[in-house]
Amino acid sequence: MPRIDIVNGPNLGRLGQRQPEIYGHQGLYEILSALRKAYPTLQLEHFQSNHEGALIDYLETLGDHGSRGVVLNPGALTHQSYALRDAVVALTIPVVEVHLSNIYAREAFRAHSLIAPVAVGHISGFGASGYRLAVEYFIERMQQE
């Protein structure tokens, strides 16, 4: 069963409660449950942390665990973490950056992503559907291999 990792950064554990007018009403585990139900033939692993180092440590293990791709929502680390960017560069598997809100339609500081230039793709502004779109990309990619 192919493995895809879904990695979420700071404050994303509060989805559904934190600013639902921006991030939606679904909680993170509701989003993950819907993905697992929609894609029963995939091993969808999940990791969320509010700590930059923990996210980096997790990403560093993925090549050893047979992951075929990473759906990464780095939260606010998108705009400020060169260390997380370097961890993405070091991966030998593809990464799709996902954001629930349209980061380009919000505060000016959010319109710059350090991750986007080193990811294979960037999905922003489609709410929880962004995770599904990223998983679909990996399915299509695996079918072409």
Domain extent for 30: 7-144
- Residue 1 placed within a domain: no
CATH number of the CATH domain containing 55:
3.40.50.9100
| 125 pLDDT tier (thresholds 50, 70, 90) | very high
Q: Residue 22: what pLDDT?
A: 77
| 103 pLDDT tier (thresholds 50, 70, 90) | very high
Question: How many separate domains does the chain show?
Answer: 1
- Annotated active-site residue 99? The verdict is yes
Residues 6+ apart with CB under 8 A from 73: 7, 8, 9, 12, 97, 98, 99, 100, 131
Q: Residue 24: what pLDDT?
A: 80
Q: What is the pTM of this model?
A: 0.94
- Residue 2 placed within a domain: no
Q: Residue 106: what pLDDT?
A: 87
Question: What is the dihedral sign for C-alpha 90, 8, 119, 111?
Answer: negative
Q: Give the chain's mean pLDDT.
A: 94
Question: What is the dihedral sign for C-alpha 128, 133, 138, 142?
Answer: positive
Q: Residue 99: what pLDDT?
A: 96
Q: Which of these is catalytic: 51, 79, 99, 122? A: 99
- Residue 110 placed within a domain: yes
Rounded average pLDDT over 66-75: 97
Q: Residue 92: what pLDDT?
A: 94
Q: Is the pLDDT of residue 110 over 90?
A: no
> How far apart are the C-alpha atoms of 73 and 10, rounded to whole Å?
9
Rounded average pLDDT over 13-24: 83
Q: Where are the alpha helices (DSSP H) in the chain?
A: 20-23, 28-38, 52-61, 82-90, 129-144
